[in-house]
Amino acid sequence: MSGRESSIDTIQRELTAFARRARHKASQLHPDLSLVTYSILDLMNERGGCRAADVASYFMLDKSTVSRQVGALEKLGLLVRETDPDDQRGQILRPTEAGLTLLREAAEQRRLSFTERFTDWDDEDVARFADYLARYGAAD
């Protein structure tokens, strides 16, 4: 197996292992926000409001799943939905203040944890790693 192939194998394996651990770590990091709900809130926030269909396609989730998650988040008062004035079928999702606060806290927790594990990396390596991941993710 060539060097390139074995590198690709490593990438595959490491990313898979990461995925397998992610749920557990997310629940450790911010117990009141699951990996899914965190991701959804985060996307809504970054996009400045978005529709359920966007969330579904971005995370490759069924729309029914998103519908329920959104319902749960709304019940918790973390987001609001407004019917899209331009399209009465759709609705626009936005985090509430409470949602934003929770999101910020969770992000802070995550950042602490991530920062800690990069202590022995120098800046250039961190930057390059981020670039590679972004490049990889962009094609997802």
Given the rule CB under 7 A, which residues bind DNA?
Answer: 20, 23-24, 34-37, 51-53, 56, 60-65, 67-72, 81, 87-91
CB 73, CB 37: distance < 8 Å: yes
Q: Which residues are paired to 106 by β-bridges?
A: none
Minimum CB separation of residue 24 from DNA in Å reads: 5
Separation CA 22–CA 26 (nearest Å): 6
Q: Does 8 bind a copy of itself (CB under 8 A)?
A: yes
Q: Give the binding range for a copy of itself (CB under 8 A) out of 7-15, 67-75, 76-84, 97-105.
A: 7-15
- As a whole number of angstroms, the distance between CA 135 and CA 98 comes to 33
User: Between 9 and 48, how does the x/- string for binding to a copy of itself read (CB under 8 A)?
Assistant: xxxxxxxxxxxxxxxxxx--------xx-xx--x------
Query: Rule CB under 8 A: which of 63-122 touch a copy of itself?
Result: 110-111, 114-115, 117-118, 121
Alpha-carbon distance 114 to 25, whole Å? 11
Give the Å distances, CA to CA, from 50 to 19, 38, 66, 83, 133: 25, 15, 12, 11, 24
Rule CB under 8 A: say whether 125 interacts with a copy of itself: yes
52 binds, among DNA, a copy of itself, none (CB under 5 to 8 A by kind): DNA
Q: Which helix (H) or strand (E) holds 82?
A: strand 79-83
Q: Which of a copy of itself, DNA, none lies near 112, with the C-beta cut-off 5 to 8 A by kind?
A: none
